[in-house]
Amino acid sequence: MKQIIALGGGGFSMEPENPLLDLYILEQSAKEAPKICFIPTASGDADSYITRFYDFFEQQNCEPTHLSLFKPPAQALEQFVLSQDILYVGGGNTKNLLALWKEWGLDLIIEKAWSQGIVLAGISAGSICWFEQGVTDSFGEELHPLNCLGFLPGSNCPHYDGEAHRRPTYQRLLKQGQIKPGLAADDGVALHFIGQDLHSVVSSRPEAKAYRVGVEYEHELETRFLGKPAIG
C-alpha cells in the first residue's frame, strides 16, 4: 500500500510537547517497531534538527536513523533507503532539497520506496515536495510557486494559518494561474494519502483544519482531532 503523510506544520520540531502527529505516522507502518529514517536535506542537515528527531523517536517503539547526503551511509544509498519502513522528510529549503535529491538520484529511490509500501512523511518542505507544485519561501522572504516531484496531483500550501502571508499568496497565485488548485493545511494538520487519493485529514490541535483550494473556492475538509475531546 502506497502512503504519504504530509504535515502542514507540527510534529517533533514544532510541537515537542505534542506527539500526536508523529505517533500517528508511526502507527501507519505495518511493523510493530518500524525503522524510521529522518531526511533533513532541506535544512542542510542542521545538527539541532537531527538531535530533536532523535530526542523524540528514541523514546518511541521504533528504530530511528537519519540520512545525510553530506555524509552518505556506508552501504549503497538505495539499499539503505529501501531497508527503512518510514521516511520522514524535514522542513527547510524545498528547492535545495529537490536539487540535491535529483543530483543523487534520491528522488527515484524514494519513489521506488513509496511503490514498495515504505511510508513517506514530512513537514513543510517535506510536505510540498510530494506534490506537483507547492508554495515555498525557498527563494527568499517572499513566497513563490515551485514545481516538485509530482507523486501527488495538484499543489500544496503548508502553514496555512501559521504564517500571515500563506493564505493570501496561495489564493493570488491560483487566480493568476501560476499554480494548480490543491490542498492547504494549517499547522498541526496532516494530509494522509493512500495512493494518490486523500484518505483522511488528522490534527494535533482541535481547531486546526485543511482545505481544498481553487481559483474561486476554499472548501474546509473534515478533520479528525487525534487527541481527547474537551469535557464540558
Q: How far is CA 208 from CA 5, 196, 203, in A?
A: 16, 23, 6
Secondary structure letter of residue 61 according to DSSP: S
Which one of the listed residues 13, 124, 203, 204 is annotated catalytic?
A: 124
Q: Shortest CA distance to 69 belongs to which of 113, 38, 34, 111? A: 38
Instruction: Look up residue 227 and give its three cell numbers.
Output: 487527541
Which one of the listed residues 43, 159, 192, 204 is annotated catalytic?
A: 159
Q: Do 93 and 125 form a contact (C-beta atoms < 8 A)?
A: yes
Other C-beta atoms closer than 10 Å to the C-beta of 224 total 10
Instruction: Report the run of H or E that residue 229 belongs to, with start and end.
Output: none
- Kindly report the CA angle at 13 between 190 and 212, in degrees rounded to 5? 25
Active site residue 159: yes
Q: How far is CA 168 from CA 37, 87, 108, 171, 213, in A?
A: 34, 31, 33, 5, 12
Active site residue 204: no
**Which residues are designated catalytic?**
124, 159
